[in-house]
Structures are given as structure tokens and as C-alpha cells.
Copies of this chain bind each other. A is one copy, B any other.
């Protein structure tokens, strides 16, 4: 169970626009469904100090942290070393990971493969039945690979660990723009201070101008806020609700 989370996306390929990060949107959506509040995403370069500083900061600030990318056998895979540096730990070769690689690769095993057995000292392994290769967990930091297909499988194998109370979401689509409905929104926010109320204008949609999201972990509270907002909005402005 986790209340808050942070994601650290590691990779020059994202910052240089060569690859679009799909891992953080995937995890954002998964975490929401699990009832976990994702508080921050940092996208950073393949640099030891930046990785170490960012992961250490996130680890202290949030209940659980996921890193994406920078694990593998080549020179630009520096996530393990960066995290080790951030927590002032040596990098060690994990005996269980090494044994697994030897079993799997036999005579083909080389020095590059063995880089994939490295972890920050103190890391534990979370078994993964679907992939046959465990996930590395260092403190509250799950170290995940950047390849989306593998990250998805790994996340799915650990997701049950994080489940928290769910959010209750209502949606209202309006035919009026934000400036016209702003007073109604402000009124609801003042009456329901713990509500998460989002207002998202859409350009070029034939059906609606603004999508409003009303959310709370308290189901009755969310329902009351939804009813109140529907009543407050200008007559005829509600196109549809969900």
C-alpha cells in the first residue's frame, strides 16, 4: 500500500526528442487506478549525479518511487551506479542475479551481461514469475527498465503491492467556456475544500467546451460536490455527465 508516488524517467533519448516517453503515462494511469497519488515526474539525463540527487530526493519525499530506463549492458546504462552514488553505497554484483544470468546464458555470458547483475549494495530482489528475471528494489525505489514492453510486465507483476483506497470520479461536460462557469467552480471549491476539481477546456470538440472532473476518495463527498456543481452551473450548460 502506498499513498504517494514519484517517477524518475532517465534517458537522453527522451530529452533530445528521439523517443516519446510512454512509460510515465502508463504508470500514471495505473497508479491512479490503484488509488496512489502520483506527485511528481522528473525526466533527467543519463548522468550519475543528476540520477543520484533526483532519486534520493524522491525517495525521501514519496512513499514509493519508480525509475524508468538506464538499466542494461551498455555505457549509457548508468541508473544503478547513479542511485548507488546518490545513497553513498557501492555497486555490487548480486549473487542471485549473476547465478541467474549464468544459468540462462551459459558459455555466452560476457562482461557486458554481468553488468546486468549489478545493484546498489542493500538492494533486494522482487521475484517476477512472468519474466523470469526479478525486479530490483532499493529501499522504496523500484528500478525498472526503459523498454516499454518489459516495464509493463514488470509493473504488472508488482502493482498489487501498492493498492490504496480508490478515487471516486464524476465528470461533467459543459457547453459554456471557463470564464462563464468560473464562479460556479469557485463556489464549489469553497464549499468542498478537500475536493479535487479539474477544469479542462477542449478546442475543436463539437460536443463540449469544458470537461470538469470531480474527485475524492470519499464517495459521498464526491457525489454531493457533483450534485452541487450541476445545480450551480448556468442553466442549460451541462451537456452530459459521467
Contact = CB atoms under 8 A, between A and B. Distances in A.
A24 B24 CA distance: 13
A178 B70 CA distance: 13
A74 interface: yes
A235 to B, nearest CB: 17
Given A15-B37, A16-B215, A112-B178, 13 more contacts: A9-B41, A16-B32, A17-B38, A18-B213, A41-B41, A72-B201, A75-B182, A75-B186, A110-B179, A110-B180, A112-B182, A112-B183, A147-B203
Interface stretch (A135-143, A192-200, A218-226): A192-200
Nearest to A203: B149
Copies in the complex: 2
Contacts of A201: 72, 147
Interface string A92-126: 00000000000000000011110100000000000
A157 interface: no
A76 interface: yes
A13 interface: yes
B178 A74 contact: yes
A174 B4 CA distance: 41
Nearest to A5: B15
A160 interface: no
19 contacts: A9-B41, A12-B196, A13-B198, A16-B28, A17-B31, A17-B38, A18-B198, A40-B43, A40-B44, A40-B45, A40-B50, A41-B41, A41-B43, A43-B43, A75-B182, A75-B186, A112-B179, A112-B180, A113-B179
